[in-house]
Amino acid sequence: MDSKSKDTYHRRTGLIYVCAAGIFMLGMSYAGVPLYRMFCQATGLGGTISRGHDTSKIETMQAVPERSIKIRFNADVASSMRWNFKPQQTEVKVLPGETALAFYTAKNPTDKPIIGISTYNVVPFEAGQYFNKIQCFCFEEQRLNPHEQVDMPVFFYIDPEFAEDPKLQGVETITLSYTFFEAKEGFQVPLPGYMTQAQ
């Protein structure tokens, strides 16, 4: 093989490696968000609530009257999502061990139906393990017809064990944040095994 052939071979090989790396990075950018979300849900990291819809304690839990917590509500939409989405209330006060109900409003201002799917997180992140949703609209497709507006409930409680956690003694405010993304027809957010068994 002469030097010109070797040079051509090395350029072609290098180009193949660069293209393969680019395709791999593009694929990982699409897979990164759902993989990160699944990791956070499984571990409770990143403020994601790790227990799903836990209703087992509701009948027996006792409120902790000396520990009032302000729950703030935040709403976001992804850049490609054309809905208007906002909380109906900016905050509520709850006691650990007490249930609460809040509402978000979503409106499709466009002239075509749009399907959305939401994710959520809790800040401070350490409080995510104590934040239990009994009913919510997350991880389920929501279809809004043109100019349709809907109210979406979130029924939740803060586990009474929150009051006993020394890392959260100074925490007086928790923020629950939802983000809506546009989903294509039939798109389903993959759920970790523990959430599919609980449903």
The pTM of this model reads 0.66
Supply the mean pLDDT for the chain: 81
Question: pLDDT tens digit string along 45-87?
Answer: 444 454 444 566 777 788 888 899 999 999 999 888 899 999 9
Question: pLDDT tens digit string along 158-180?
Answer: 999 999 999 999 999 999 999 99
Residue 62: CB atoms within 10 Å: 11
> Is the model's pLDDT at 18 over the cut of 70?
yes
Distance CA 53, CA 81 (A): 26
Please tell me the predicted confidence (pLDDT) of residue 51.
47
Please tell me the predicted confidence (pLDDT) of residue 197.
43
> Is the model's pLDDT at 16 over the cut of 70?
yes
